[in-house]
Structure 1
Amino acid sequence: MKRLSTLAIAAALACAAGASFAAEPVIGLITKTETNPFFVKMKEGAAAAAKAKGAKLLSGAGKTDGDNAGQVTAMENMIAAGAKTILITPSDSKAIIPAIKKAQAQGVMVIALDSPTDPAEATDALFATDNYKAGVLIGQYAKAALGGKTPVIATLDLFPGHPVGAQRHNGFLQGYGLKSFDAKNNELAKPAEVVCMADSFGDRAKGQTGMENCLQKNPNINVVYTINEPAAAGAYNALKAAGKEKDVLIVSVDGGCDGIKDASGGKIAATSQQYPLRMASMGVEAGVEYAKTGKKVSGYTDTGVTLIAAKSIAGVDSKDAKTGLDLCWGKK
């Protein structure tokens, strides 16, 4: 009887171990918000990749861009639910680090998507656009499109101190040939040509308000850089209400399907297209590999960027709106 009991226990333990090994990998995705089209598409991409790879996806987000507490709570809940890999687009690049370290101490691999932490080495890996290059591309285009006119620039930024916001802003100025900072500096350069700067938080309504305020400061603005296409849409609404939409050049970053439609319709002159579906699928694949083999990814992987322009300009390498629609969000 005792031997049978021992064998039964051993068999049960073996079954439990086998079930644990065979259990589907649990991967968490935490985005900055659930409403920004970029993050909506990222979530869709992660869900599709998880289904294809036989993994379970948990998702969460902050209430608004900058909501670190909401992201921390989501991370804690995912760890409690068994997630061994967490993909995150950090809202606050510094404040999230203690939560990341706590997760890593429990054996969780943490991969940043789209936005790095500060320092970037706080996560195991980063899959993202080269945001500085994205800014440089639209800066070069804006300068060529404006010709010999003196630029009077408004920037609708993310919010102070965020690496992505700084990289895109400073890259834009660098591409335009204006005084700027390098890609490692999280401050926002403000050369004399920039007459107004406003924090949009990547939001359409805040972008519109920011543009309205900038027009009050200087009605002669002729170039507007925006952190993303929702902010660009808000800027366009403000310019149209002021009767200035045909006199001002708007450039942006994202390359989302709606943004490319805005470009083809003349609302945005050019945008740097990034690929959230690619980021999400790569993150999920890395998470599944970690669950199977224990092998972690590391370092930065550039997920690509393409300049999409409503009109081509000699000397500036760009793709047209049709190509942009074919590629929007990385669906091809």
Structure 2
Amino acid sequence: MGRRGPLGRRVGVCLAVAVVGAVGLTGCTEQRYWGGASVAGNGAKARIGLVTKTDTNPYFVALRESARAEAAALGAEFSALAGRFDGDNDGQVTAIENLVQRGVNTILITPNSATGVLGAIKQARDKGIMVIALDSETDPASAVDATFATDNTAAGRQEGAYVKAALAGKAPQLIMLDGTAGSTVDTQRHTGFLQGIGLTNDSPAVLGHQSVNGDQNLAQQGMENLLQRAGNVNAVYTLNEPTARGAFAALQARGLTAQAVIGSIDGGCQGVQDVKDGKYAATVMQFPAKMAKLAVDAAAEYAKSGTKPKGFQDTGSMVITDRPVQGVRSQDTAWGLQNCWGK
């Protein structure tokens, strides 16, 4: 590869790139470097890099655009990269390495895996770059300086408590549609839901569960398979809203939607509309825009004073439903549509 300008290294990578002021997104992009060493404190300019799991998932789009807007408001330089697909750890490692070369002083990342990018994160922190995890935790949590995220166990617990209350005293007959087996978010939400509904993995009330990777089509197929031996289902746990839409489609095809209470987690505008339309009973809203804004504010402060946030920062969650139940705090879908994903 050649060079352009005094600090104009060219790097070809298949990553989605969105720079403040740019009009669109592109893959396999030649990236222009800010150049210079990463510095913080003494009023330094904030140079912020964001790495998301993908650049197409609406959740991460909302997070990215919130970060971009806050960076622009604060006069910070901002660049966003993403893996090529959900689970692309190698792509995220490459993105971190590129941002280090660009001279950022803060990296914000939604890690695909709790452990898959730890080496690259350590190398960045060893150079004095602050690293903040968004949405998903690393393992160990101390691998990053701080985490701004939903407490996913608490969100799962809220979903479970709602479904239990909505059953109005009926014994649960539960199907669980999980995400990617072994992922931190999947484990936390699954565990929290069981706590909220008052069951364990070994409870006879759990009729079946299947990992569907958060995908609507896989969720529909998985639900169809499980319904062949669990037609008496009256409660459905779903990891996220695409999963809930798949579950609803499978139940609708069998004429079983009236007997089953479906819960979910995410709180996107489409998900809130689904709840309003009666496709599922409730969703637990997250606030990715808030995560991004708070993290960019922390990055600006780090550049200015060298002060870092520490530990886990819970950005909150809220049950959204038009069928409120006693003992579960919630908001209706009108509020949800005004606030989906913290917009």
- TM-score normalized with structure 1 length: 0.86
Q: Which runs of 5+ in 2 are unaligned?
A: 1-35
Is 2:243 aligned against 1:231? yes
Alignment of 1:35-46 (within 5 A): 35-46=56-67
Q: Hey, what's the Cα distance between the residues in 2 that align with 1:221 and 1:60?
A: 42
Q: Cα–Cα, structure 1 residues 66 and 216, in superposed 2: closer, same or farther, change >3 Å?
A: farther
Counterpart of 2:328?
316
- Asked whether the 8 Å contact 1:65–1:201 carries over to 2, the reply is no
Counterpart of 1:55?
76
Give 1:62 deviation, angstroms. Answer: 2.1
Alignment of 1:27-176 (within 5 A): 27-176=48-197
Q: Hey, what's the Cα distance between the residues in 2 that align with 1:209 and 1:102?
A: 42
The CA deviation string for residues 146-196 of structure 1, in whole angstroms up to 9 with x for no partner, is: 1232222121212122222111111111011113xxxxxxxxx45332222
Secondary structure of 2:115's aligned partner: coil
Q: Cα–Cα, structure 1 residues 213 and 73, in superposed 2: closer, same or farther, change >3 Å?
A: farther
Give 1:66 deviation, angstroms. Answer: 1.9
Is 2:326 aligned against 1:303? no
Amino acid at match of 2:104: A
Q: Hey, what's the Cα distance between the residues in 2 that align with 1:178 and 1:235?
A: 21
Secondary structure of 1:138's aligned partner: helix
- Asked whether the 8 Å contact 2:322–2:333 carries over to 1, the reply is yes
Counterpart of 2:261?
249
- Asked whether the 8 Å contact 2:43–2:305 carries over to 1, the reply is no
Alignment of 1:140-289 (within 5 A): 140-179=161-200, 189-289=201-301
Q: Hey, what's the Cα distance between the residues in 2 that align with 1:213 and 1:47?
A: 42
Secondary structure of 2:257's aligned partner: coil
Secondary structure of 2:324's aligned partner: coil
Q: Hey, what's the Cα distance between the residues in 2 that align with 1:215 and 1:96?
A: 38
- Asked whether the 8 Å contact 1:207–1:234 carries over to 2, the reply is yes
Secondary structure of 1:246's aligned partner: helix
- Asked whether the 8 Å contact 2:264–2:283 carries over to 1, the reply is yes
Counterpart of 1:3?
none
- Equivalent pairs counted in the alignment come to 305
Q: Hey, what's the Cα distance between the residues in 2 that align with 1:284 and 1:251?
A: 32
Secondary structure of 1:221's aligned partner: coil
- Asked whether the 8 Å contact 2:150–2:317 carries over to 1, the reply is yes
The CA deviation string for residues 93-130 of structure 1, in whole angstroms up to 9 with x for no partner, is: 01221111111111111101111011111110011111
Moved more, 197-206 or 65-74: 197-206
- TM-score normalized with structure 2 length: 0.84
Q: Hey, what's the Cα distance between the residues in 2 that align with 1:276 and 1:119?
A: 22
Q: Cα–Cα, structure 1 residues 149 and 162, in superposed 2: closer, same or farther, change >3 Å?
A: same
Q: Hey, what's the Cα distance between the residues in 2 that align with 1:307 and 1:61?
A: 29
Give 1:23 deviation, angstroms. Answer: 7.3
Moved more, 96-105 or 208-217: 208-217
Amino acid at match of 2:227: L
Quick check: which one's helix share is greater? 1
What is the alpha-carbon root mean square deviation over aligned residues? 2.0
The CA deviation string for residues 46-70 of structure 1, in whole angstroms up to 9 with x for no partner, is: 1111111111221122233222111
Q: Hey, what's the Cα distance between the residues in 1 that align with 2:76 and 2:202?
A: 46
Moved more, 169-178 or 150-159: 150-159
Q: Hey, what's the Cα distance between the residues in 1 that align with 2:281 and 2:176?
A: 15
- Name the % identity: 50
Secondary structure of 1:286's aligned partner: helix
Q: Cα–Cα, structure 1 residues 258 and 190, in superposed 2: closer, same or farther, change >3 Å?
A: farther
Q: Hey, what's the Cα distance between the residues in 2 that align with 1:197 and 1:34?
A: 29
Give 1:314 deviation, angstroms. Answer: 2.7
Q: Cα–Cα, structure 1 residues 328 and 190, in superposed 2: closer, same or farther, change >3 Å?
A: farther
